[in-house]
Amino acid sequence: MARTVWDSTVGKKTVMAVSGLVMLLYLVAHMIGNLKIFFGTTEFNKYAHWLRTVGEPFMHYEWTLWLIRVVLVVAVVAHAVSAFQLSRRGIKARPSKYVHKRKRADYATRTMRWGGIILGLFIVWHILDLTTGTVHSGGFETGKPYQNVVDTFSTWYGNTIYIAAMLALGLHIRHGFWSAAQTLGAGSRTRDRALKTTANVLALLLTIGFVAVPVGVMTGVVS
């Protein structure tokens, strides 16, 4: 039954919608955590340490964090694979271009496709920069996330990559949230306006919340 559901277009859209909502919940929590950087070094580093001790003593050190990471990896892979397969299926279903182009639909599709690719590449860079420290500038310091964040956003390329990715994220959420709601049956004539408003507000708040950190470093508010 699982294979039958996955092979269907509706099944892939459902997987894409659910995995997208899982990632959206994580992004909201992640943004709130990031904003703690404005309360100083001690507060931010204490928060980073807390993430590794959540659930103790029932959970071992970092077990909860790794559980969250596994769930996110599954969500990202499921989202990307279903999006790619749906895109290929759509191309095969209409190999020739429409006589009359659907500008709004085509724009949304291109935005989601390229936005997804940009975000995928950003995730890889972000992990290598602030999790493993592989591409980090200024010398990565384990256990000192505040200093690592300041190092990253003290470089022009760190700011450029991050802000560009967050703008892509905002556009992705704006269209993706509404699409997920339609897929999961939440949409209707009476609720569509509210759903679109919610999508716009979420996209705007998350974009501003994430971009606030590099801007804070650039302006010296965070140093």
The DSSP element (H or E) to which 205 belongs, if any, is: helix 192-218
pLDDT in tens, 101-136: 555 555 556 677 788 889 999 999 999 999 999 999
What's the whole-model pTM score? 0.88
- Note the pLDDT of residue 179: 87
Place of tokens 């397969």: 85
Tokens of 68: 């969250």
Q: Where does residue 180 rank: exposed (0-12), middle (13-18), buried (19+ CB within 10 A)?
A: buried
**CA dihedral for 56, 58, 59, 61, sign (positive or negative):** positive
DSSP conformation class of 134: T
Asked whether the beta carbons of 131 and 168 are under 8 A apart, the reply is no
Radius of gyration of the chain (CA): 19
Residue 36 has pLDDT above 80, yes or no: yes
pLDDT band at 39 (very low <50, low <70, confident <90, very high): very high
Q: Is the per-residue pLDDT at 63 higher than 90?
A: yes
10 Å Cβ neighbour count for 31?
18
Query: Is the separation of the CB atoms in 179 and 21 below 8 Å?
Result: no
